[in-house]
Amino acid sequence: MARTHLRRLPLVGFVAVVLLAAGCTLPVFDRGDEGDQNTPKASSAAGPTWKPCPEVPRKLVGRGAANMRYDCATISVPGDWNAGGGAGGDKVEIALLRIRSSKQQDRIGSLLVNPGGPGGSGVDSAVYLSFGSAFGGLPDEVTRRFDIVGFDPRGVSRSSPVKCVPDADLDATFGFEPDPESQAEFDELVALNRKIGAACGEKYGDRLRLFATEQAARDMDAIRTAVGDEKLSYLGYSYGTLLGATYAQLFPRNVRAFVLDGAVDPKQGMVAGSESQAKGFERAFTNFTDWCERTPGRCPIAPDARTAVTQAIEKARVSPVRGAKGREATAGWIFYAVISSLYTEAGWEKLAAAIDTLADGDPKGTFELADAYAERDADGKYTNLFDANLAVNCADEENKVGVDRIRTLQSEWRKKYPLFGPPLATGMLSCEFWPGQRDPYPTGPATGAPPIVVVGTTGDPATPYEQTPKLAEMLDVGVVLTWQGEGHTAYPQTRCITNAVDAYLIELKPPREDTSCPAR
């Protein structure tokens, strides 16, 4: 489920897949053309002021992609759309990045992208997508027809970012025991979540409800107007499918083509969603251990990878391995290294190597995997991914579960999902102590919208495939496209998936209902 919390599993979608597959960076390319050709003109006097910003891709991956121009702008939107959206009142600044190919022709419009989270940067993901299909980015067929527009949703990264969780508390959260069995440990985790909620409430007060998904979906329509598109084309991964589905319900007649990849079932409550995710990660972990048994030459912890991982966690509970600057590879950090590696099949080999070297007293690989997931740098500094994740999820979540029920579910899920059940249960504590008012998103049909392509991956751990047909059914205009693959999200991983999505985005030809693509 994408409405995840601090100890649950934020779904960062496409960016996580790219970073893991590419070893946290992309190769250095020839600098793209940064001249003035194809400079877009503002659609109206009220349009945003675009300025070249080649420094954005340069900071992320070394430099921009060949033949791509990067321009940035900021638009102001109402802090609270439900207060009328007029000229008065507080404003939120939304950061935009537009990428245009020098080879563009027969331009259709803009393709707005969101990588998920909630809390993932759409500006960053647009940069990664601009590097072409050879590096896991968008095909040339798409970049020749669309401007690629990334945006940081309200509260995220460059867009009036929310920041209220100290780095020390994030370290404590990630490093905490993933299954606190004793009452003392459980109470300590409760206290940590209470502390975090109080700090965010003290800083933001009533404004916390304004980070809700529905507010961000309304921001998307302001972006559509700003870039001059009569109708919106959109590519949303993971939580981005929830954001896109919300938009489609609010503005169905403004939809041109929506691809929702890594589908979330918006009707799932917190408990059902958490259990679904626990089941999904257990299934993906089993797929990893089966792979180890089949390919021992690539898996140094074969033949019994499950035992190797669980023993590493057990050992860390008693005697964690110390790394640079005395940092300890606790059970929590090992758990998040496992989580990180399951987002893409390319991460399996990294996990096996990390557990193997950890047994030899070297935690570097474990920390690299966990830190990539947590967006933590070598100095212990975090981005605001998890602050935003909390703010959005808790604003969206209408009902609390209750501490006593969470404690009961922790025990029940330990039996059903031994590695992932307990932390997915205790992760629900986060919103128990969140002080803001709630603003749940709608969960109905997108009446009046054209067909919307809903993509699911059978081996997806974070948004299990079972959610795909449920989202399509809720929208009533959803067309299911299935990838029989591993990892989180599908497009553009194989030719079959790519061809189906490209034909829809460019020609508005959705795939046949229940089209299924092989893993390779």
Instruction: Indicate which residues carry an active-site annotation.
Output: 238, 460, 488
Phi/psi region, residue 380 (left: phi>0; alpha: psi -120 to 50; beta: rest), is: left
Would you call 8 exposed, middle or buried from its count of C-beta atoms within 10 A (0-12, 13-18, 19+)?
buried
Residues 172, 133: contact at Cβ < 8 Å?
no
Which of 405, 305, 414 shows the shortest CA–CA distance to 353? 305
Tell me the C-alpha distance between 306 and 365, whole Å.
18
Residues 117, 156: contact at Cβ < 8 Å?
yes
Which of 286, 468, 388, 445 shows the shortest CA–CA distance to 5? 388
CB contact set of 88 (below 8 Å; sequence gap of 6+): none
Tell me the C-alpha distance between 203 and 187, whole Å.
25
CB contact set of 59 (below 8 Å; sequence gap of 6+): none
Which of 344, 338, 336 shows the shortest CA–CA distance to 376? 336
CB contact set of 218 (below 8 Å; sequence gap of 6+): 77, 81, 85, 250
* Torsions phi, psi for 101 (to 5 deg): -80, 140
Q: Which residues pair with 437 in a beta bridge?
A: none
Tell me the C-alpha distance between 326 and 394, whole Å.
34
Between vectors from CA 392 to CA 391 and to CA 395, what angle results, nearest 5°? 85
3-class DSSP state of 161: coil
* Torsions phi, psi for 3 (to 5 deg): -85, 75
* Beta strand segments in 27-67, E: 51-52
How far is CA 146 from each of CA 67, 101, 230, 415, rounded to the nearest angstrom? 14, 9, 14, 49
Q: At what angle do helices 364-374 and 167-175 cross, to 10 degrees?
A: 120
